[in-house]
């Protein structure tokens, strides 16, 4: 069955420390993976997508097909990075995404 796993429900790091939010997926094809973010009192919004290979707000995510992972990384966490983060690969054979359970990141000043 299609699955996406974000093993950490809660993650706390100190400001300036590196942060990595883990995401593992099960998908037999070549997935188009996304990270969405929800800041406090804001809408869920796209943070970055694998295909564009860009860095948004200092975050990057590398697709590792061998490990079926798409971890989100940032070298120096900022307080404004505190938010809920969702990894989202596509549902196999479907026209929609399959969101993980999310990781709530707290950056401690």
Partner 1 sequence: DAGITQSPRYKITETGRQVTLMCHQTWSHSYMFWYRQDLGHGLRLIYYSAAADITDKGEVPDGYVVSRSKTENFPLTLESATRSQTSVYFCASSRGQHQETQYFGPGTRLLVL
Number of residues this chain uses to bind partner 1 (CB under 8 A)? 23
Which of 14, 16, 18, 46 is in the footprint of partner 1 by CB under 8 A? 46
Task: Enumerate the β-bridge partners of residue 33.
Answer: none
Query: What is the rounded CA–CA span in Å between residue 77 and residue 3?
Result: 28
Task: Enumerate the β-bridge partners of residue 88.
Answer: 34
Q: Which one, 68 or 85, has the nearer CB to partner 1?
A: 85
Q: Which one, 4 or 19, has the nearer CB to partner 1?
A: 4
C-alpha pair distances (Å), 96 with each of 45, 47, 48, 79: 16, 17, 17, 32
Q: How far is the CB of 73 from partner 1 (least distance, A)?
A: 20
Tell me: does residue 70 bind partner 1 (CB under 8 A): no
Nearest Cα residue to 34 out of 21, 47, 17: 47
Query: Residues in the site for partner 1, rule: CB under 8 A?
Result: 6, 9, 32, 34, 36, 43-46, 49, 51, 86, 90-91, 94-102
């Amino acid at each position: 069955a299609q699955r996406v796993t974000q093993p950490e429900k809660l993650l706390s790091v100190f400001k300036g420390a590196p942060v990595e939010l883990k995401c593992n997926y099960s998908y037999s094809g070549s997935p188009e993976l996304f990270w969405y973010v929800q800041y406090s009192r804001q809408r869920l919004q796209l943070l970055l997508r694998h295909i564009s290979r860009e860095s948004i707000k200092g975050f990057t995510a590398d697709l590792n097909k061998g490990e079926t992972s798409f971890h989100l990384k940032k070298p120096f966490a900022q307080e404004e990075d505190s938010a809920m983060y969702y990894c989202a690969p596509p549902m196999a054979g479907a026209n929609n995404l399959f969101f993980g359970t999310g990781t709530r990141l707290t950056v401690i000043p």
